[in-house]
Structure 1
Amino acid sequence: MTLPVPLVDGVTLRLLRPDDGPALAAAYARNREHLAPWEPVRPDAFWTAARQTAQVGVALSEHAAGRGCPLVLDDDGAIVGRLNVSDVVGGAFLNGHLGYWVDAARTGRGLMSAAVRAAVDLARDDLGLHRLQAATLPHNAASQRVLDRAGFTRIGVASRYLRIAGEWQDHVLFQRILDDPPTSTG
């Protein structure tokens, strides 16, 4: 797959770049309230361009080492979402974790559904993975619809899986076996 990938409404999915720190900080700041129920509590430094620039460096190092693929949804230079394949494990597992978010002003337009479908292709064809897994809070129906549309299947519930919004919360677990045809009902 060749990046960037055109998605919806002129937005493209592309690899994170070293100079994305300020744009990423702006995207996170713009979406701070929108993301708060779905993410860990963040320290004040998280929201700064300096911290995001440092995080970009870490993410690109992980990418260079084959342990992740940090992507952004780009609308003419403005970052309007993130999508990451992280914790990539090779060997007999060939697995990665999928995480994503989209700008509050862009929800409900099919943008993340298109991005996740592109990430499935990227994980299979470019990263050589066999499986992607994802987890959502039980009440995050929108994210569960995105995964369903991309052919993920629900495989269970993990109790107190992640500390989100300051509390250990259960998560619904999903997987997509990348060699299998999608099983989407959406």
Structure 2
Amino acid sequence: MFRWLSGDPVSPGWPATLGPLGTRAGAVSLRPVKLRDAKDWSDLRIRNQNSLLPWEPTGTGSWASRHQVSSWPPLFSVLKSEAKRGTLLPFVIELDGRYVGQLTVGNIQRGAVRTAWIGYWIDAGHAGQGITTAAVALGVDHCFGPVGLHRLEATVQPENAASQAVLMKLGFRREGLLERYMDVNKRWRDHYLFGFTVEEVEGSVAEALVRSGRASFL
């Protein structure tokens, strides 16, 4: 479900394109972020302010100012640098080749723990169509395969039922409540902690999604 891009990988599992998986909305795939994503990123983020603001960490300045086209190059530079160091995997979620969201694997740790967190967002106009679920399935399989991780974590606010549903469909377990865990929209918010380890996967997460009828191999 993955292939290397041109050139030698600079860290395990990076860079790579993943998928596609078929959903009722179309073909879902993941690819590395690119510098030329600036306009698509800005347009989507600004258009989706109301759907994203309640769930994302508090930032400096207004939402619009943080998501101008000019804000992308320095952000991209950080993402690319961390990806080269092997601490981050920043992907664009594509639907039939169109940018519709992002998936990021962060705080990658090696050694005795081999763990990371996974996060994602999608254009509200494409929500509820199985796109995010397929994208996360691809990301999880990549992390438990070429990236060589043993455990993935995700944190979700109790009110975010849609994001919790994505995780539970794929096999993540709710492990506990992190009280006042993160400053979100200018307030310290509780988050559920979800966990998933490689031993809990039979075959692959994408294969399980296909067997359940929620996706198809293309």
Is the pair's TM-score, using the shorter chain for normalization, greater than 0.5?
yes
Q: What letter corresponds to residue 157 of structure 1 in structure 2? A: L
Q: Note if 1:101 corresponds to 2:121.
A: yes
- Larger RCO (CA within 8 A; separation ≥ 6): 2
Report if aligned partners of 2:91, 2:102 keep a CA contact under 8 Å in 1.
Answer: yes
Larger radius of gyration: 2
**Given the alignment, which residue of 54, 66, 84 partners 1:46?**
66
Deviations 1:67-102 (A, max 9, x none): 010011124664211110001011111011111111
d(CA) in 2 for partners of 1:167 and 1:174? Answer: 21
- What are the ranges of 5 or more consecutive residues in structure 2 without an aligned counterpart? 4-16, 213-218
How far has the Cα of 1:144 moved from its partner?
A: 0.6
Matches within 5 A, 1:7-86: 7=21, 8=23, 9-42=26-59, 43-44=61-62, 45-75=65-95, 78-86=98-106
d(CA) in 2 for partners of 1:90 and 1:162? Answer: 24
**Given the alignment, which residue of 161, 166, 171 partners 2:191?**
171
Query: Segments of 4+ in structure 1 off by > 6 A?
Result: none
Report if aligned partners of 1:86, 1:97 keep a CA contact under 8 Å in 2.
Answer: yes
Matches within 5 A, 1:119-130: 119-130=139-150
Report if aligned partners of 1:71, 1:84 keep a CA contact under 8 Å in 2.
Answer: yes
How far has the Cα of 1:66 moved from its partner?
A: 0.4
CA RMSD, Structure 1 to Structure 2 (Å): 1.9
- Aligned pairs, how many? 185
Report if aligned partners of 1:160, 1:170 keep a CA contact under 8 Å in 2.
Answer: yes
Report if aligned partners of 2:177, 2:190 keep a CA contact under 8 Å in 1.
Answer: yes
d(CA) in 1 for partners of 2:76 and 2:18? Answer: 18
**Given the alignment, which residue of 172, 176, 190 partners 1:152?**
172
Aligned CA distance change for structure 1 residues 11 and 114 (closer, same or farther; 3 Å): closer
Aligned equivalent of 2:201: 181
Identity across aligned pairs (percent)? 35
TM-score after normalising by structure 1: 0.92
TM-score after normalising by structure 2: 0.79
